[in-house]
């Protein structure tokens, strides 16, 4: 009997709390209704986002080149860049490497291609990644993130990750999944326009 009274009291309290929440919501929403300007209403949400968004600039990081020399991303300023973060143990990464290799051969004079292997010293080392690239016949510029500098700069939690950066250093494209040949071509066209 005592337990029934307790449940009844809890049910009454719950109903009162829900009623108060509903009344509070109505009062506050009436008081703080956003003012809508006619010219703002005419813009699409995407247009508003584009006009209000601050450009996001590519963070700097340091990696090793194929000769083991340190290279800072900022040393490559002046032309667009495409960064691709990958690893030999990532099957999705391997599927997009041929398209990047071809694009690098075609557009390498106009765009910096940085194929950055995430070397964790356990599954990938610069030596094992270089051996993989040689075996597969890839000729794109390979870089090795042995210290986690690039991983930290881009807060990478999954790969493949591809980033398109314009001449001004702004990030203009970001793919956190495998990039198709068409997507890569679109990114290149946009970067070169």
Its pTM stands at 0.72
pLDDT at 108: 95
pLDDT at 121: 82
pLDDT at 52: 60
What is the rounded distance in angstroms from the CA atom of residue 138 to the CA atom of residue 145? 18
Percent of the chain whose predicted confidence (pLDDT) is above 70: 74
- Of 185, 4, 170, the C-alpha closest to 102 is 185
Beta-strand pair 142-144/70-72: unpaired
* CATH of region 62-192: 3.40.30.10
Burial status of residue 126 (CB atoms within 10 A of its CB: 0-12, 13-18, 19 or more):
buried
User: Given a cut of 90, is residue 127 above it in pLDDT?
Assistant: yes
Q: Which two tokens stand for residue 77?
A: 């300023």
What is the rounded distance in angstroms from the CA atom of residue 62 to the CA atom of residue 44? 40
β-pair partners for 83: 114, 163
- The SS3 assignment for 179 reads coil
From 65-69, 117-121, 152-156, 163-167, the region with the lowest mean pLDDT: 117-121
The pLDDT mean for the chain works out to 83
**Tokens 């973060």 belong to which residue?**
85
**Domain boundaries for CATH 3.40.30.10 within the chain:** 62-192
């Amino acid at each position: 009997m005592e337990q029934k009274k307790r449940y009844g009291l809890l049910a009454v309290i719950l109903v009162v709390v829900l009623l108060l929440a509903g009344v509070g919501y109505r009062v506050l929403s009436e008081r703080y209704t956003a003012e809508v300007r006619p010219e703002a209403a005419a813009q699409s949400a995407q247009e508003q986002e584009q006009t209000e968004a601050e450009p996001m600039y590519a963070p700097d990081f340091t990696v090793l080149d194929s000769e083991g020399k340190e290279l800072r991303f900022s040393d490559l300023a002046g032309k667009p860049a495409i960064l691709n973060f990958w690893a030999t143990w990532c099957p999705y990464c391997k599927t997009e490497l041929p398209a990047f290799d071809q694009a690098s051969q075609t557009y390498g004079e106009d765009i910096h291609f940085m194929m950055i292997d995430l070397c964790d010293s356990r599954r990938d080392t610069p030596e094992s990644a270089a051996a993989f690239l040689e075996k597969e016949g890839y000729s794109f510029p390979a870089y090795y993130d042995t210290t986690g500098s690039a991983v930290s700069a881009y807060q990478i939690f999954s790969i493949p990750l591809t980033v398109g950066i314009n001449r001004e250093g702004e990030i203009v494209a970001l793919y956190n999944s495998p990039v198709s040949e068409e997507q890569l071509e679109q990114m290149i066209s946009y970067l070169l326009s």
